[in-house]
Structure 1
Amino acid sequence: MRSRIPSLALAGLVGLTLVACSDDPAGPPAAGASDAGAAGGTAGDGHGDVAGAAELSEPQLGLTTIDPAGTVTHLDLLDESVGELGRIGAPSAMTTDGRYLFAQTDGGVEVVDSGVWTWDHVDHFHYYRAEPALLGTVEGDGVATVATTNLSTTSGTGLFFPESGEAVLLDTEELSKGEITEQFRLDTDPHAGLVVPVGSFALVTEATDGVATSVVARTADGEPTGLEVPCTQASGTITTRVGAVVGCADGALLAHVQDDELVVEEIPYPEGATAPPATAFANREGRPTVAALAGDAGIWLLDTRERSWTLLPAPEPLVAVTAVDDADQHLLALTAEGRVLVLSGEDGAVLAATDPLVAESLAAGVVPTLVADQQRAYLSAPVEQRLHEIDFADAARVARTFETTTEPAFTAETGR
């Protein structure tokens, strides 16, 4: 089904101690031009530059972490320098778009600007560095669900506070200027909801008896457009180059802007599918294929270009998966024993595996972060106080391990 509606018009770094143990002293190769980008025809609009930012010749990749006390630290993956960006409240959850960290604290959602980002110009990329900053707090009740796009200087960022039912759309362009500006804040029924930005629109869940049953299209100022699409038990969202994905009990919605119109398509699960639905998606930023756990039944792959689902078998119990979606169709998984597996995206076969790297964290009930870019994967080991860089194309070789001075409770790869 396809529906359309018309478009309406911190301070300087303070050094910290961190030791790198590496069999790859040259560091990761620079991420070249990939297919990652923004959805809805927004990639290529402008160049992603902001006042005071320096444009550089290669991506400024880093790992930005928050420890349990709220100390924010940035590790530069190019020169291995480390700096403290400041301190926020004690975090309980975190979401990132590759530049900003949206950390849940007792006060709401605190926004951290890592100061590094990449702009996808479709056939080439622009790389920027600016001063990192702690931007402030978006107030709200309950642990918010945060939905981002792939562009950190335009469009919006959605937050939904489940306890109050408040739906908030932030102006991402204003975030890039150091300001938190709410484009809208709507009161809805309390539920586990979503605000999903799509170009100059947003999809906001509506609930019946405390359960999301549909998404309503709204303009950037919060006005309903008249489009409402069923989506029972809406859960999980991610943006690919093709569009914004919203998980539903019977499949997914794919939303994008085409010719100044919002297009929303339904992608149902294969007929007869009995595996649990996908409720959280992950991939190499912007790539068309996304991965999600299908409960204990396997791994869902959603190809947003082909509008198709594939269910792969899980070789053993898994706690996280992400789609690399490279030329070899690699898929990465974190096992319940703490190993990283490199899987075939064709049939789920195990191609390579690390030794257990995060067994202590998993035993303590802490789920590490697993994220992939074009060249490498990064795995946080919070309890072990380490960050691992893994060359998934080279037999899952651990290329570098960084010892941290505090527990990296939440980790984001930034600059991508």
Structure 2
Amino acid sequence: MDPTVRGRATPWAPAALVLTATLLAAGCSGQPGAGPEPTATESSAAPHGYVEGAREAAEEQSRLLLGDPDTGASRVLDLVTGEVQETAPVPDATRLTTDGRFGFYHTARDARVVDGGSWTVDHGDHVHYYRAAIRDVGALPADHGAEIRSDAAVTAVTGRDGRTGLYDRTELAQGGTRPLRTLGGTHAGAVVPYAEHLVALTGDDDSAQVTVYDREGGRVATPDATCVRPRGDAVTRRGVVLGCADGALLVRAENGTFTADRIPYGRDVPEKERAAAFRHRAGSDTLTAPAGERAVWVLDVTDRTWTRVETGPVLAANTAGEGAPLLVLESDGALHGYDIATGRHASRTKTLLTGAGEGPTDASGPAVEVDRSRAYVNDRAGRRVYEIDYNDDLRVARSFDLDIEPGLMAETGR
């Protein structure tokens, strides 16, 4: 690892850490000026936000899950300490997804689950950051094309045949992979846990109906909305976004009532230029998706508007949200920054990808992961990950040398 002097602060200043942790604990106690809550060993009652076996921290505990598609080797890179930990190999993994804590290595047979050991619990007016041991959980029955979505309580695994199994996320955290139940019927696209319910699309690819289930699998709502050729989904603070042929649907819950509002493109968009897979910073309401080979869609969920940004040839894209640049990794191997409002090209890194323009552009190709202050780009052929300060003209803050080819990458701790 070769961090620069101005990278993400890895050793915390002790006085600042103690002060921040004290304020956080006081804010969660519900008693102004009460001071830190007792630890589990100091009181028989666990403090608010306590998670057994985890240590609470004062900032995000970001980690990168990394996999080598050729050898099956996997690693976890701790972005706070800079340390790299070897995890159980996953031969034949072709895709890596995450729910913010668990990583899912997709193979043709199953999805291997790795507990990244870092996560965020958002209580709305405050958040808790946790770190715990990294460990292999086991495997979930899932085909290569399965879609896996989670919230704090449940994980939904939807196979290519549309059938969906539910798993207790607390049990996953304890190393168990026993299913809770299987939802009846089949679904078009992923079943998405949201607002203590499950948002799904029932029907076929040509005309799917928005359907909401309770956690027991009972149908509780069918908002009057259909989605033609559904592709892609994302959970935002405003609701669940479902990609459709004419734009997107925003499914929201308010006072126990579910509604679905359409966010149209406002123009005829050829199928190959439609948004098919969304990327965004966790907690952000700004989504990105490739718009063909040389452009990127930006969906502002708050304003309910689509913006098409013309770029160079797109390998991957992402953004931190409002006020941040659109980040586009292009075929020249550099990360480019664009002003979303104007479409103006604003900044560019040096060439980051070894053998730029020659590597794969599928799920085992390069990715752009974004958190609250940094972006990360994996250079598979160069066996390296770059950390980019997107608030400082895309400055390369740190680079991490690895002993594997990190063709698969996902960030946890968010």
Q: What TM-score does the superposition give when structure 1 sets the normalisation length? A: 0.82
Partner of 1:388: 386
Structure 1 residues 57 and 320, CA gap change in structure 2 (3 angstroms): same
Q: Which has the higher contact order (CA 8 A, sep 6+)?
A: 1
Q: What is the aligned residue count? A: 376
Identical aligned residues as a percent: 32
Separation of aligned partners in 2, 1:246 and 1:304: 11
Q: Give SS of 1:355's match.
A: strand
| Residue deviations 1:85-118 (CA, integer Å, cap 9, x gap) | 3233431111112211011123311211111111
Q: What is the one-letter code of the residue matched to 2:135?
A: A
Q: Which of residues 107, 132, 135 is equivalent to 2:134? A: 132
Alpha-carbon separation, structure 1, partners of 2:337 and 2:409: 21
Matches within 5 A, 1:13-412: 19-24=1-6, 27=9, 49-68=50-69, 69-149=71-151, 154-162=152-160, 164-186=161-183, 188=185, 193-208=189-204, 213-227=208-222, 229-271=225-267, 276-296=273-293, 298-312=295-309, 314-326=310-322, 328-360=323-355, 362-366=357-361, 367-412=365-410
**Residue type matched to 2:334 in 1?**
R
Specify whether residues 233 and 388 from structure 1 end up closer, same or farther in structure 2 by C-alpha distance, changes over 3 A only: same
Query: Quick one: distance in 1 between partners of 2:358 and 2:137?
Result: 34
Q: Shift of the alpha carbon at 1:273? A: 5.6
Instruction: Report the alpha carbon displacement of residue 357 of structure 1 after superposing the two structures with TM.
Output: 1.1
Matching residue's letter, 1:262: F
2-side partners of 1:227 and 1:50: how far apart? 36
Q: Per the alignment, in what secondary structure is the counterpart of residue 298 of structure 2?
A: strand
Structure 1 moving runs of 4+ over 4 Å: 271-275
Task: Rate the CA distance shift 1:26–1:116 in 2: closer, same or farther, 3 A.
Answer: closer
**Secondary structure in structure 2 of the residue aligned to 1:174:** helix
CA distance in 1, matches of 2:182, 2:338: 42
SS state at 1:83 partner: strand
Task: Decide whether the 8 Å contact of 2:294 with 2:312 is kept in 1.
Answer: no
The answer as to whether partners of 1:337 and 1:356 remain within 8 angstroms in 2 is yes
Structure 2 CA distance for partners of 1:78 and 1:226, relative to 1, 3 Å: closer
TM-score using structure 2 length: 0.83
**Separation in structure 1 between the aligned mates of residue 50 and residue 262 of structure 2, nearest angstrom:** 35
Amino acid corresponding to residue 374 of structure 2 in structure 1 = R
Distance 1:361 1:175, change over 3 A: farther
CA distance in 1, matches of 2:331, 2:382: 16
Q: Deviations over 1:282-333 (max 9, x none)?
A: 1111111111111136322211122222222x2312122112114x332111
Once residues 126 and 393 of structure 1 are traced to their aligned partners in structure 2, the CA distance between those partners, rounded to angstroms, is 24
| Structure 2 gap ranges (5+) | 21-46
* Helix, strand or coil at the partner of 1:87: coil
RMSD: 2.7
Give the secondary-structure state (helix, strand or coil) at the position aligned to 1:168.
Answer: strand
Residues in 2 aligned to 1:399 and 1:266: alpha-carbon distance in whole angstroms: 40
